[in-house]
Structure 1
């Protein structure tokens, strides 16, 4: 990472206002690979592609701090996902609702975009766009770090259908508070966000959400629980959405073990979608500079009997299982080669798919592999 140090004046020198020291960091990730995915069953197909973000999300970011004195700091963070295979940015969402979805094009700061005030004693206050509390557990306790064909998100991000709702990963228009560091291993944060709708509208609460995450880390152990609840007027495709999860990791030396459990409910007009997902996995050191990554995840659909597929079967039979295995080889501290294979098995009328893949026929499997290189700067 390249750090640019500068002196930032709080006012014109002629005004006599004192200067304070600031720092700005430019950072990023470039991650590209060769990917093959296929969807089994009638109508299924396959795709050969140049994939993006198989190990880490490609991104460009800027962050900075200013020492205000007395232990108080001001800061900012701007971080946007990249599609380096096409030279574009990824879309963001302006209001936590379907109406606010953007399109891929010029870079948008869809990952993080906030200003903050922080203190080692008082914690940190952020205003802007950020990851929601439950997604932080997805990042830290999925052996594949929520990236690539074998990510747990192929199942855990599923809300009403096989894809995420607007507040599954990030939230816009947020205010969050983060506990200060060094409080005996405890950490946590709370966040609220708004859909910014007119108070006279029937959907005035759509896109409003609140959540929190609290955990404890000590030595080889780390465990955290989180919950986020978003409000939406109930329709056939969306409704009040609650996502809760708990995860943990333990570094035993010969291997690092992970576990993650997710519980999702969406209250539709015709009934409630309920999906529970459990994942276990591990990182196993190999060849001194590499690690093997493995995971197994299972999705159990427990939706109301009133919710049916197009063929009349209850949706609560639409379960899925996923197995993933991969290897990461570090060429240096910044550059790594990787390979990953994932196999996702659907049952009932489920059509879950590996990341970047082709949707299989109902009840059939989805598979994918990718080989790539990641470089940090």
Structure 2
């Protein structure tokens, strides 16, 4: 069994709409986890993952009242693939948006606010293919519905070919659905990333297009980041277009610890589908263990 985790905290100057700027400490998806695996012989393995999300600034649980609410799953794996059962996030989102948010792992106040996340994380069953094709994995899942939520479906594919890394994801829950494709290209000290997403009935009734571009330049222990997203009009909702831009700098003190800073800004349309205009200037530290 392995104990692992991450503490990721920022000090920020934040401004929402026309309100006065405030100073705050923010959690950036900090977590504490346990994982383990048992070899059952004949290539068959059983394992589990338990993850607790918490806010280091207060010590309280985040997102859910359940202690293991971030992730709690059991799995069986063999040469025929992996079957997962439990509570875990969307593989479609991980295959697309998570890859492109390189500056801070799609967390905190600089997370991808324009991305459409569809489906439930709990009561899920998933199957992940083995590497029949080198560099390619495919995973599909179904999450049980409830009295208030319909059953949801999730499908994702990831393919790596040297410096090129591709991904695609599709999610559906009732009338809500999204389809996205992603590409990453590594060229020496430079990394370029992009995704395109088409969603329906998520932020408003009707279809919407979402595009995000990102770039990273590394120089020794330093990383320089830029990330820009543009969301088109949602259905027939007037003034629903929005943009988000982030500039970031990371300095890696070691493989596990970094200090960093960023400026992020969301320009929301008059329809306010994403909350409101928002900006933040932040400095932070992240430590993995």
Q: Match of 2:115?
A: 156
**For residue 205 of structure 2, what is the aligned residue in structure 1?**
272
Q: How far apart, CA to CA, are the structure 1 residues paired with 2:281 and 2:206? A: 31
Per the normalisation by structure 1, the TM-score is 0.72
The Cα of 1:267 is off from its aligned counterpart by 7.7
1:321 aligns with 2:243: yes
Which has the larger Rg?
1
- Quote how far apart the aligned CAs of 1:302 are: 3.2
- Structure 2 gaps of 5+ residues are none
Give the SS at the match of 2:235: coil
Is the CA contact (8 Å cut-off) linking 2:234 and 2:241 kept in structure 1?
Answer: no
Per the alignment, residue 70 of structure 2 pairs with: 111
Tell me the C-alpha RMSD between the 2 structures: 2.0
Determine helix, strand or coil for the equivalent of 1:327. Answer: strand
Higher strand proportion? 2
After superposition, residues 200-239 of structure 1 pair within 5 angstroms as 206-231=149-174
Cα displacement string for residues 299-336 of structure 1 (whole angstroms, at most 9, x for unaligned residues)? 102313xxxxxxxxxx2421111111101101111111
Bigger drift between 210-219 and 62-71 goes to 210-219
Are the counterparts in 2 of residues 244 and 264 from structure 1 also a CA contact under 8 Å? yes
Match of 1:39 among 10, 16, 23: 16
Aligned partner (choices 189, 203, 228) of residue 139 of structure 2 = 189
Judged with a 3 Å threshold, the aligned counterparts in structure 2 of structure 1 residues 113 and 194 are, in CA distance, closer, same or farther, namely same
* Superimposed CA distance per residue, residues 123-147 of structure 1 (whole angstroms, 9 cap, x where no aligned partner): 1000001111322122122233212
DSSP-derived class of the 1:301 partner: coil
Name the counterpart of 2:287: 375
1:329-340 matches, cutoff 5 A: 329-340=251-262
Q: Is this contact kept in 1: 2:190–2:215, CA < 8 A? A: yes
Looking at structure 1, the residues matched to 177 and 81 of structure 2 have their Cα atoms a distance apart, in angstroms, of 27
Matched residues in 2 for 1:368 and 1:349: separation?
A: 21
Q: Which residue of 2 aligns with 1:292?
A: 224
Q: Is 2:56 aligned against 1:134?
A: no
Whether the 8 Å CA contact 1:301–1:317 is kept in 2: the answer is yes
Give how far 1:285 is off: 0.4
- Following the alignment from structure 1 to structure 2, what is the Cα–Cα distance between the partners of residues 252 and 28? 31
In the alignment, which residue of structure 1 is the partner of 2:271? 349
Offset of 1:351 from its aligned partner? 5.8
Q: How many residues align?
A: 287
Q: Structure 1 stretches of 5 or more lacking a match?
A: 1-23, 93-102, 158-163, 198-202, 232-239, 305-314, 354-358, 360-364
Secondary structure of 2:114's partner? Answer: helix
Deviation of residue 352 (structure 1)? 3.2
CA contact (8 A) 1:149 1:370 kept: no
Q: How big is each residue's C-alpha offset from its partner over 1:345-365, in whole Å with a ceiling of 9 and x where there is no partner? A: 223333635xxxxx4xxxxx4
Residue equivalent to 1:29: 6
Partner residue, 1:60: 32
- Give, in angstroms, the shift of residue 66 of structure 1: 0.4
